Amino acid sequence: MSRPTARVLTLLELLQSGGTRTVAELAGRLGVEGRTVRRYVDQLIDLDVPVESVRGRYGGYRLAPGYRLPPLMLSDEEALAVLLGLVAGRRAGMTTAQRTASETASAKIRRVLPRHLARRLDALVEALAFTDRPGEADTPDAEVLLTLADAVRHHRPVSIRYTGRDGRRGERTLHAYGIVAHAGRWYVTGQDARIGEDRTFRLDRIEDARTLPGSFEAPAGPGPAQRVLSGFATAEYRHEVTLRIQGTTEQIRAHFPASVASLEETEPVEAEDGAAEPVPAEDGVADPVAAGDRAGGRWMRVELRAERLDWLPPLLASLDRPFVIERPDELRALVTALAARLTSHARRA
């Protein structure tokens, strides 16, 4: 918004607070000269805002008695877009001043929205969690999103029509714990009431959602975002992969985040003769950091599931840490093939 436009809107807010404002007072509040105030007043009049000029010693400008700005007319989708933009902005590392402006803007929007829509949008903000900074999200149907948010807020069961990954459609009754935005997609996590187990559903695959009678108790434990990440790490895929990698949690998580793999400390890898794996040396001197890793047993078991394995060999190569492939054999063969190709390329003149 340009500065002159912002000042015109500020002038309108000052006049809406009531009473007559002198030109000198308005000029001081806006940081402009008197003739600029008169020009801003003319702009408001051109927009059909009834600004009256009051003559005399205490004259100035005022709004016509009884005038109020009409309510902000936004559709549900428009209001949702504005409010989510403000929420995402606060998540994007904004400065303190920008964050304050975002919060005041949210408050102003809520104040002029119809009460029923303001309540639904408040429910959405309370139910929403981010796993990371939001990017280009695949925004779901607004009515589905708002219905689920209301169900989360009031602990009410909801019926959803869902299309699974295999293309099959079905209806589920869900006790929704929360809504999560992750890696450009939106998810709802909760208990599938029919089977009594926690499930995570992509919102863009939900065709319809309707609230059902009754209520449920939300469980204690991890929050919705952590439930979604844990679900990704343990979901059923074609291949089950188990690795053992030597390194710190930070080093391994940089390549295998919680949304991809589970991680736990394990025993040090031993050589075939039963001795601990030798520590590489440089210039004849043993590496004390590596020795500490070995002595402290800082080997981590990494478990994940994947539809394809071809992305793992390059990832393991970039990790640049000792590792052992426990399963599957297909991954071991792919890593060996990649090593052979790299060796062949390196030998070329």
pLDDT tens, residue order, the chain (349 aa): 446 777 887 888 888 877 888 999 899 888 899 899 999 999 888 888 889 988 877 778 998 887 776 665 666 777 777 777 776 665 544 444 445 566 666 666 776 677 777 787 778 777 877 665 544 445 678 888 889 999 999 999 999 999 887 788 899 999 999 888 776 678 888 899 888 888 888 888 898 999 999 999 888 878 888 777 776 655 556 788 999 999 988 889 888 887 778 888 887 766 544 434 444 444 443 343 444 444 444 899 999 888 788 889 999 988 889 999 999 999 999 999 999 998 888 887 5
Instruction: Kindly list the strands in the beta sheet with 299-306, ordered across the sheet, starting from the edge strand earlier in the chain.
Output: 261-266, 299-306, 239-246, 323-327
What pLDDT, on the 0 to 100 scale, is given for residue 79?
72
51/137 Cα distance (integer angstroms): 43
Burial of 74 by CB count in 10 Å (0-12 exposed, 13-18 middle, 19+ buried)?
Answer: middle
Specify the pTM: 0.43
- Which residues make up the CATH 1.10.10.10 domain(s) of the chain? 3-63
Please state whether beta strands 261-266 and 60-63 pair in parallel, antiparallel, or not at all (unpaired): unpaired
pLDDT of amino acid 333: 93
pLDDT at 328: 92
Confidence at residue 332, expressed as pLDDT on a 0 to 100 scale: 93
Please say whether the beta carbons of 229 and 289 come within 8 A.
no
- CATH class of the 3-63 domain in this structure: mainly alpha
Please report the pLDDT score of residue 276 as a whole number: 41
